[in-house]
Amino acid sequence: MKRPLEDILVLDFSQFLSGPSASLRLADLGARVIKIEQPGSGDSCRALYASNVEMNGDSSIFHAINRNKQSYQVNLKEGPGREKVYRLIQKADIVIHNFRPGVAERLGIGYAQVKEINPEVVYGEISGYGKEGPWKNRPGQDLLVQAISGLMQLSGNAGAGPVPMGLAVVDLLAGIHLSQGLLACLYRKMRSGQGGLVEVSMLESISEFQFESVTTYYQDGGQALERTKISNAHPLLGAPYGLYQTADGYLALAMGSIPQLGALLKCDDLLRFRTVDSWFDRRDEIKEILKQHLLSATTTAWLAVLEPADIWCADVLTWDRLFDHDAFKVLQMIQEVRMSDGYCFKTTRCPIRINDQFLTSELGTPKLGEHTTLIDQELAMK
C-alpha cells in the first residue's frame, strides 16, 4: 500500500526515547528515517542499562523504538563528517534532535545553521525544561520530569506517597507532540513553501497531559489533590470510578449512577446516595461499601449483571489474559520484524490504520552504521 509520508526524508539526531519515538511514527507512516549516530557506541539507548533483556547485541528497548529506520554513523565534530551531514540536510524534509540546549549549535546542526543549508527545512527539537530559566540544563529524563511535574500525585491511593506511572509517559508524550508539530509544519511547507521550527519540552508536554487537574487547581483556588483511600483511579472523579477486588480478580467501574449500581448489584447500602454531588463528596464511603460487596462474587458474575444494563465496567487483565482473548487477536497488534542479519523479533505495530489497512513494517532495527556506505554512495551519485 501507498503510505502517506512516502518520499519524506527525516534525519534524526535524537537519542533515547522522546525524539526516536516521534521518528518511529513518521517511519511507520511512510517516511524514510535515517538515524545519525555518533562514533563509538551510537545512540546511548543501544546499551541503555535499563532493560535486562538484550536482543542481538542491543537493548530490547532500543529495538522497540528504532525498527524501520536506517543508521548512518558519522563524526559531527570533524570537517568531513560534518560536510556529509550537511549534504544530507540539503535533501532532508525534517531534522530532529533532543540534545540539551546549546549542544546542537556546537555540533553545527542548530536551527539557524540548518536553515542556512536548507531554508525550507522543518526542524524539531525536544528539551527537558525549555531553553530558558533555571531548569534548562537539568537532565530531561522521564522519571525526573514525572517527579517535578506533579504527576505523581494522581495515581495510587491516598497515603501511598508519590506514585510514578510505570512507563516512560513523558518521553512518549513529548514524542507525540513533536511529531504533531512536525507534520503540521510539513503540511504548511507543502502548501506555502514555509518550513519552520517546532519546539517541545518534556515538562510542557507532561503539564498539558494534566490539563484537567491543573485547570481544576487554578479554578478552585489551589486546593491540594486528594486521591481516594481505596480504589483511586482519578483524584477528581467521584465513586464508583476505580478498580475493585472480586472473589477471583478485579473489576473496573467507570462513571455511573450509584443507586442504579446498588439496585443491579443488590447492594441496598448504595441506594441512599441519591444526589450526584454525593457520589463525589462521599466517594470514600461509597467505595468502601462497594469494596466489601464486590468481594462476594467473581468478576464474571458481576459483569454478567452489569454489562446487559450498559454499566461501564470491565475485567482487569494481565497481558497474558489479554493475549488469549479473541478481541486482542483480531487486532493483529503484534508484528514480527527482521534485521539484516536475519535476527527476528516480535513487537507492536503502529496503532493508526489508513483506509482500514494496518501500517505494519517488516524492517528491523539497524546495526550501528549499517547504512553508512549505502548513504555515502547515494550522496556520491548526486
Partner 1 sequence: MSKELPLSGLLVLEFSQFMAGPSAGLKLADLGARVIKIERPGSGEAGRKIAIKNMFIGEDSLVFHTINRNKESYTANLKDPTDLQKVKQLIRHADVMTHNFRPGVMEKLGLAYAAVRNIHPKLIYADVLGYGKEGPWANKPGQDLLIQSVSGLTYLTGNKDDAPTPMGLAASDMFTGGHLVQGILAALIQREKTGIGCQVSVSLLESTLDMQFEALTTYLNAEDQAFKRAVKGSAHPFLGAPYGVYKTKDGYLAIAMMPLVKLATALKVELPSDFKAPSSRFEKRDGIMAFFQKILLGETSQSWQEKLEAQGIWCAEVLDYDRLLNYEGFKVLGMDQKVFTSDGTKIHTTRCPVRMDGERIFSGKSAPKAGEHTRAIEKEFDLV
Identify the residue among 33, 34, 64, 88 touching partner 1 (CB under 8 A): 64
C-alpha cell at 159: 497515603
Q: Sign of the CA dihedral 43, 47, 49, 52? A: positive
Under the binding rule (CB under 8 A), the answer on residue 60 touching partner 1 is yes
Residue 229, burial from CB neighbour count under 10 angstroms (0-12, 13-18, 19+)? middle
Nearer to partner 1, 14 or 146 (CB): 146
Nearer to partner 1, 311 or 375 (CB): 311
Nearer to partner 1, 87 or 189 (CB): 189
- C-alpha span between 78 and 251 (Å, rounded): 59
Under the binding rule (CB under 8 A), the answer on residue 209 touching partner 1 is yes
Q: Which residues in the 77-116 window bind partner 1 by CB under 8 A?
A: none
- C-alpha span between 278 and 73 (Å, rounded): 62
Q: Which residues in the 162-201 window bind partner 1 by CB under 8 A?
A: 162-169, 172-173, 176-181, 183-188, 190-192, 194, 196-201
Part in contact with partner 1 (CB under 8 A); list of ranges 55-63, 72-80, 265-273, 368-376: 55-63
- C-alpha span between 258 and 254 (Å, rounded): 11
CB of 274 to partner 1, least distance (A): 15
Q: Which residues in the 263-302 window bind partner 1 by CB under 8 A?
A: 276-277, 280-281
CB of 377 to partner 1, least distance (A): 27
Displacement of CA 209 from its chain's centroid (Å): 11
Identify the residue among 10, 65, 109, 368 touching partner 1 (CB under 8 A): 65
Binding mask 127-166 for partner 1 (x = CB under 8 A): --xx-xxxx--xx-xxxxxxxxxx-xxxxx---xxxxxxx
CB 66 within 8 A of CB 367: no
Say which DSSP state 195 is in: -
- C-alpha span between 334 and 329 (Å, rounded): 9
Identify the residue among 40, 112, 224, 382 touching partner 1 (CB under 8 A): 224
Binding mask 325-344 for partner 1 (x = CB under 8 A): xxx-xxx-xx----------
Part in contact with partner 1 (CB under 8 A); list of ranges 33-41, 84-92, 245-253, 266-274: 245-253
- C-alpha span between 261 and 266 (Å, rounded): 8
- C-alpha span between 230 and 289 (Å, rounded): 11
CB of 245 to partner 1, least distance (A): 6
Work out the angle between the directed axes of helices 258-265 and 299-306 (0-180°, nearest 10).
120
Nearer to partner 1, 6 or 78 (CB): 6
- C-alpha span between 263 and 254 (Å, rounded): 17
Nearer to partner 1, 310 or 381 (CB): 310
Active-site annotation, residues: 171
Nearer to partner 1, 75 or 347 (CB): 347
Name the H helices within 266-362: 276-281, 283-294, 299-306, 319-323, 326-329
Identify the residue among 9, 39, 47, 48 touching partner 1 (CB under 8 A): 48
Q: Which helix (H) or strand (E) holds 113?
A: helix 111-117
Under the binding rule (CB under 8 A), the answer on residue 258 touching partner 1 is no
Number of amino acids touching partner 1 (CB under 8 A): 148
Part in contact with partner 1 (CB under 8 A); list of ranges 33-41, 222-230, 266-274, 367-375: 222-230
Identify the residue among 83, 105, 116, 208 touching partner 1 (CB under 8 A): 208
Part in contact with partner 1 (CB under 8 A); list of ranges 42-50, 82-90, 97-105, 374-382: 42-50
Q: Which residues in the 343-382 window bind partner 1 by CB under 8 A?
A: 345-348, 350-356
Q: Which residues pair with 200 in a beta bridge?
A: 126
C-alpha cell at 369: 552504521
Binding mask 10-29 for partner 1 (x = CB under 8 A): -------x-------x---x
Residues whose CB falls within 8 Å of the CB of residue 92, separated by 6 or more in sequence, listed in order: 9, 10, 11, 118, 121
- C-alpha span between 142 and 153 (Å, rounded): 16
Q: Which amino acid appears at position 270 of this protein?
A: L
